[in-house]
Amino acid sequence: MAGNADDARGPLSVQLVAGQKALVTGGNSGIGRATAIALGRAGADVVVNYVAGADEAEQVVAEIRGFGVRSYAHRADVSDEGQVVGMVARMVEEFGTIDIMVANAGLQRDAPTVEMTLAQWQKVIDVNLTGQFLCAREATKEFVRRGVVPEVSRSAGKIICMSSVHQIVPWAGHVNYASSKGGVGMMMETLAQELAPRKIRVNAIAPGAIRTPINKDAWDTPEAETALLRLIPYGRVGDPEDIADAVVAMASDLLDYVVGATLYVDGGMTLFPGFATGG
């Protein structure tokens, strides 16, 4: 799966973010893993954050180092303020600064509303929304302190929020998750408006259904995959690399004038596919 995607992506080994310093939260698995690797391949030094799965994180680090850039793994819970502060402080110490913050870590705790516990609600909001806020805030402090370094990038820093089609698509049985991603959309736009004068670019990537552990049940049997494909006009479930490449482009100066945007990378999932034959 990753193999075929890699083969198709030769030209994207262009060093679009050469010399930049990136941090990817939840970089040990799924979309975060592919993103950390893609940023390394594109020339960035990369901190691979994880909260569980130290071995996986070390494997990602090893792969990134293979590109001749620097990388290390850092354990931190993004919903813990002290741990996020410590993580960014260490990065500034080790790499000198941060140029790209990919606030990717996220989880689901699904339940019908009447069965959803406050703990399930709170956990998802804490990690998916508050976690992104804390990471964005700490990165911003360093972006503002350092300002623009024209040899490195036209902007003083980039924050990329990993959102979801559920930023705008309601999702029964997942009110905590959909609310967190709706919140991510507004947080991102507000940060973008506030920080653009400082030359900081804040944007979101909104994946559709991507083959990762978070939604394994939705694609790992032929029946499930067939049902899922009914929601995807482009006719395939996404690969983590589809998202990783979008992140690299968004982080690079190619997209320097993109500020406060949400890029849906979803094979058309947000195009109301039910209306292709109805309505």
Give the C-alpha separation, 64 to 193, whole Å. 33
Nearer to ligand BGC, 104 or 164 (CB): 164
Determine which residue in the list 36, 165, 188, 246 makes contact with ligand BGC, applying CB under 6 A.
Answer: 165
E strand or H helix at 141: helix 131-146
Region at 157 (left for phi over 0; alpha for psi -120 to 50; beta for the rest): left
First to last CA, the chain: 36
Region from 25-33, 95-103, 141-149, 158-166 binding ligand BGC, contact rule CB under 6 A: 158-166
Question: Using the rule CB under 6 A, is 120 a contact of ligand BGC?
Answer: no
- Distance between CA 3 and CA 5 in Å, rounded? 5
Q: Is 177 a catalytic residue?
A: yes
Instruction: Name the one range near ligand BGC by CB under 6 A: 18-26, 87-95, 142-150, 212-220.
Output: 212-220
Nearer to ligand BGC, 69 or 243 (CB): 243
Q: What angle do CA 261, 95, 33 make, to 5 degrees?
A: 55
Angle, alpha carbons 72-75-80 (nearest 5°): 135
Rg of the chain in Å (alpha carbons): 18
- Stated as kind and residue range, the H or E segment containing 73 is strand 71-75
Stretch that binds ligand BGC, among 75-83, 111-119, 150-158, 206-214 (CB under 6 A): 206-214
Instruction: State yes or no: residue 15 binds ligand BGC (CB under 6 A).
Output: no
From the CB of 152, what's the least distance to ligand BGC, in Å? 32
Told to check if 211 binds ligand BGC by CB under 6 A, we report: no
Chain Cα centroid distance, residue 49 = 12
Who contacts 72 (Cβ-Cβ below 8 Å, separation ≥6)? 47, 48, 61, 94
Q: Is 59 in the site for ligand BGC (CB under 6 A)?
A: no
180 binds ligand BGC per the rule CB under 6 A: no
Among 43, 208, 238, 240, binds ligand BGC (CB under 6 A): 208
Among 116, 214, 258, 259, binds ligand BGC (CB under 6 A): 214
Which window, 68-76, 115-123, 192-200, 211-219, contacts ligand BGC (CB under 6 A)?
A: 211-219
The catalytic residue positions are 177
Instruction: Give contact residues for ligand BGC (rule: CB under 6 A).
Output: 108, 164-166, 208-209, 214-215, 218
